[in-house]
Amino acid sequence: MLRFILTRASLVIPTFLGVTFLSFLLIRLVPGDPIEVRVGERGIPPERLAQLRHEMGLDQPLWKQFADYIGNVLSGDLGVSLVTQNPVLSEFFTLFPATLELGMAAMIFAALVGLPAGIVAAVKRGSWFDHGVMGLSLTGYSMPIFWWGLLLILFFSVQMGWTPVSGRLDLLYYVEARTGFMLVDTWLADEPGAFASALRHLILPAIVLGTIPLAVIARMTRSAMLEVLGEDYIRTGRAKGLSEGRVIGMHALRNALIPVVTVIGLQVGTLLGGAILTETIFSWPGVGKWLVESINRRDYPALQGGVLLVATTVMAVNLLVDLLYGILNPRIRHSR
């Protein structure tokens, strides 16, 4: 077991180094010298420029600069945002809970709708419900979510007036940020109505962000269930006289869930990518919107750090899924 965990975990190291190198290159590939970008258009005398270059280590050979960069990254120093002058790491962690809350809500929505839809579609294979679910999920999978979000805003916010257009909370409320999760913070705070407001702000973005994972989960659940339902032990269960609910719920679902859980875990990358668009549309103050703003403001240190942190998050989750999969399924653990 330990051997399995260590082998899998060690595979992440070269990938992490590669991603670090990529983010290291990023700031050197963008047009303009990092110092000139920072100084802006006023310009500075050449001697001062040389001095600054020396202070920042930019006159060192590239491999030395990269080694220093890795050292900084590992000690948690990701540089300072050009715009706010705050450390990139602390900016990221201030904004990350908002993205995490949105992503979790989206995933819960996707799983709550996608799992039952996929199960029923598989059980009633070939029925109109099955065709409907497959058709809708392919449509969801093909959806440009930035447009989908606009449509939902148009209908639910503008026409019906049910949900707010943007943000996380009505301006009426002031809630102390204890955890960074608005739902938790408003629940803890003693403000009547704040929790409901936070919830109403969360619904539309969560649906938009959850649409593609929902489609993937529904399709995956259906095909996993179909595969399992054809197995001998399902026939045995039926032959023993077990109720249909028990056969499907206990025997089939348990085994069908293994690949589905993996797929849910692997959706994290898609989710973080989708968060960039969703947060931009709904002015959701999370990591995705921050990254887009960093690009538009040419705040390259923020972009560099953000990319590295997002990539690390995705890698960590993928590793976790891999390990969980190995723990759930011994065949994976022992195969070489």
Partner 1 sequence: MTMDAQSNAVVEPVPTATPPHPLVEFWFHFRQNTGAVIGLVVILLLVLVAVFAEVVAPHSPIAQYRDAILVPPVWHEGGSWTHILGTDDIGRDMLSRVIYGARLSLMIGLIVVTLSLAVGLALGMTAGFFGGVVDIAVMRLMDIVLSLPSLLLAIVVAAILGPGLFNAMLSVSVVVIPHYARLTRAAVLAEMSKDYVVASRVAGAGPLRLMLVDVLPNCMAPLIVQATLGFSTAILDAAALGFLGLGAQPPTPEWGTMLASSLQFLQRAPWVVTWPGVAILVTVLAFNLLGDGLRDALDPKLKR
Cβ proximity to partner 1: between 183 and 225 the closer is: 225
Structure letter (DSSP) for residue 241: T
Amino acid occupying residue 180: G
Strand partners, 87: 80
Minimum CB distance to partner 1, residue 12 (Å): 9
Interacting residue with partner 1 among 4, 5, 8, 15 (CB under 8 A): 15
Size, binding site for partner 1 by CB under 8 A: 43
Q: Does 318 bind partner 1 (CB under 8 A)?
A: yes
Q: Does 256 bind partner 1 (CB under 8 A)?
A: no
**Phi, psi (degrees; rounded to nearest 5) at 80:** -125, 135
Q: How far is CA 119 from the centre of its chain?
A: 25
Cβ proximity to partner 1: between 70 and 143 the closer is: 143
Amino acid occupying residue 247: V
Structure letter (DSSP) for residue 190: -
Q: Residue 162 class from Cβ within 10 Å (0-12 exposed, 13-18 middle, 19+ buried)? A: exposed
Please state, in angstroms and rounded to a whole number, the distance separating the CA atoms of residues 103 and 150: 19
Q: Does 166 bind partner 1 (CB under 8 A)?
A: no
Q: Does 10 bind partner 1 (CB under 8 A)?
A: no
DSSP helix, strand, coil percent of the chain (3-state; round to 5): 75, 0, 25
Find the part of the chain contacting partner 1 (CB under 8 A) among 43-51, 98-106, 110-118, 152-160. Answer: 152-160
Q: Does 151 bind partner 1 (CB under 8 A)?
A: yes
Q: Does 153 bind partner 1 (CB under 8 A)?
A: yes
> Contact positions toward partner 1, by CB under 8 A?
14-15, 18-19, 22, 26, 29-31, 135, 138-139, 141-144, 146-148, 150-151, 153-154, 158, 269-270, 272-274, 276-277, 280, 291-292, 295-296, 303, 307, 310-311, 314-315, 318
